[in-house]
Every structure is written in C-alpha cells, then in structure tokens.
Structure 1
Amino acid sequence: MAHSATIQVNKSRLIVNLADNSRADWGLKACENMLKDSLIVLSNFLYSKNTCLDKKVHEEIEVDLHFCGDSRMKQINREHRGKDKTTDVLSFPMYESLRPDSTDFVLPGPVMLGDIIISRNVAAKQARDFDIELEQEVIHLFCHGLLHLLGYDHEISQEEEEIMEALEKEILMKIKKSRQKK
C-alpha cells in the first residue's frame, strides 16, 4: 500500500510530494522530517545562477519523490535504463535541461521538475557503509536526483562529474550550516 504526503516550509518555493510503497521500518513521517530542513536551501539553489529558473516568473517548483524497495528499484532501472540491478537513486526529468544555458522553454507559473526515486534499502546500506546518519544519505540522494532533474549528469564526462560533485558538496554544506543554526 502506497502512502503519500506533501512537504513545504515557510519561505520555500519548493514543494515535495512524497510517496512510499516500501515496507521499510522508517516511515513517511521520518522522510518528511529528513527533508524538511533542507527545503529552503534547495529552493534558493533552484533560483540561483546554476539554473534558468526565475523567482519572478516561476513562483513555485514541484518535485515528486518516491521511496521504494530494492525489487521495485531493480525493475524500474531495468525498464528505463537497461540495467538489471538495483541502484540508489533514479531521476525522471520533465525538461532536458534547466541549466543556465538551457534552451528549454519553461512556461511562467509553477514548474514541475519531475520524479526522483530513492531505494530505501540502498540508502540505508550506503549510510552504514559511509558511517553517516540515514538522514544525511537521504538528503544527499535527493540533492543528487534534483541535480539530474535540472540537467546535470555525471555520467556524460569527467568534467560533468566534477561540476555535479562540486554542486552537491556546495548544497550539502549549506544544508549542514542551516541545520546547525537551529
């Protein structure tokens, strides 16, 4: 049975629609709490020099975030990427690119970026492997997926990998700093 929720915080123009069809021991409310503190930082990034989005023209941005188990993630990865294995995060963008030099036309008004799918099992395993809190790994995977929705892709070249990695680090550092202020 799928569960869903929508999260948005004051001063954030980012809306995240959560859906969960896995049977993990951490629930949807935990996922909401994990992401809530990061939304303002992510919203600011979405309207930064790193995208073509404009606060005056695109009043809010929406992302659908799905959590699933390994078997579902493996199935999605096989169907859409031809890879018969599970993975940590997949992104399905609505636009080819929303980078600053994008030629994609984005209508004025609310903008739907696309879907991000995170495997709960892989997220939990990676958190253990990296010796970090699960919350940190979920936020990292969400940021990674969000960058893919914007048209950043580390699989294209070494240069693109370095650009994407630098942006991830910048975003995660800002999230960490904003959380320390609380």
Structure 2
Amino acid sequence: MKITFYSLPKKLDKAVLKKVIATVLEKEKKPKAVVEIVFLSQGQIEKLNFNYRGKKEPTDVLSFSNLGPFPGEDKNYLGELAICLSHIERNAKRFEEKPQRELARVLIHGILHLLGYNHERGGKDSKIMMSKQESYLSNLLI
C-alpha cells in the first residue's frame, strides 16, 4: 500500500496515521491501495466543500474517489482525502473525544468513502458504513 501525505502538520505522527489507514485497507482486502491525503486550512476546505457539495461551511473530511483508472494511472489508486485538522480538533472538544481518536475516526470514515461506502443514502447503507467505522476504530489502541 502507498499512502502519501501533503501539508502534514508537524504535530501529527505519520506512522500512527498510516497504521489507522492500513487497518481499514487490510480488513477491506485492499492491501495494495494507493491513497493521497492532504491537510487543509478551514478556509481551504470550506471552499472545496462549497465547490463540490454546495455547502458554504467547513467540514472535517472530503473524499474524492478515483473514477478511473485512467490511462497510465495506478489501478490501485483509490483517491484523495482532504482533511481539516482544526475542524477535527473542534469536533473532538465538542464530542468530548481525544483529538487523535477523532482524527482516526475521520480517516477511517474517509477511507470507507473511497472504498464506495456511503452513509448519505441513509438506511442500510448508513448502518453498514457506521458499523464498520466504529468497529475499526475500536480495534485501534488510540
């Protein structure tokens, strides 16, 4: 598997983040997956959220799934996650959760979206995705 980080905040441990992502990809039988993760400011993610979802507000994570593969592109490329650490830290405080645990939850959530899971349809799809998310999170010692 190949995981590339862009604008990774210095206070984050890349090895821990990779462990979280690897846990999901291995359990989902995608050990050769290629994922890119970019950390954005609140303003940057708010702009992306508006451009791609029509919502003029910040969010913790946006998932951009690979629709390809396109010619010359790695067939294992899943897509990209855009993450806003400041929004995650606010949510952690709001939900009385440790920031690193909330970040793990968001990473798992985003990877599941890249794999095709979708809670926004509601019903059974939502239950499956959220169940997997919380199961993977509970297996991590974070």
* TM-score (norm. length: structure 1): 0.68
State percent identity of aligned pairs: 25
Give the match for residue 66 of structure 1.
Answer: 38
- Checking the alignment, whether the CA contact within 8 Å between 1:62 and 1:111 is kept in structure 2 is yes
SS at match of 2:127: helix
Say whether residues 1:30 and 2:17 are aligned partners: no
**Post-superposition shift, 1:42?**
2.3
- Residue 71 to residue 40, structure 1, CA distance change in 2 (3 Å): closer
How far is the alpha carbon of 1:34 from its aligned partner?
Answer: 3.6
Deviation readout 1:32-67 (Å, 9 max, x if unpaired)? 1441332442232130xxxxx5x6xxxx21110111
Runs of 4+ in 1 over 3 A off after TM superposition: none
Root-mean-square deviation (CA, aligned residues, Å) is 2.3
Q: Alpha-carbon deviations, 1:78-128, whole Å to 9, x = none?
A: 1111111111110000049xxxxxxx9xxxx75010001111111110111
Instruction: List gaps (5 residues or longer) in structure 2.
Output: none
Q: What is the distance in 2 between the residues matched to 1:39 and 1:145? A: 10
**Aligned residue runs from structure 1 range 1-182, under 5 A:** 14-20=1-7, 27-28=9-10, 30-47=12-29, 53=30, 60-95=32-67, 111-176=76-141
SS at match of 1:115: strand
Contact 2:33 2:76 in 1 (8 A): yes
Whose Rg is larger?
1
User: How many residues of Structure 1 are paired with residues of Structure 2 in the alignment?
Assistant: 138
For 2:35 and 2:46, the matched residues in 1 are separated by 22
3-state DSSP class of the match of 2:120? coil
Q: Would you tell me which structure has more helix in proportion to its own residues?
A: 2
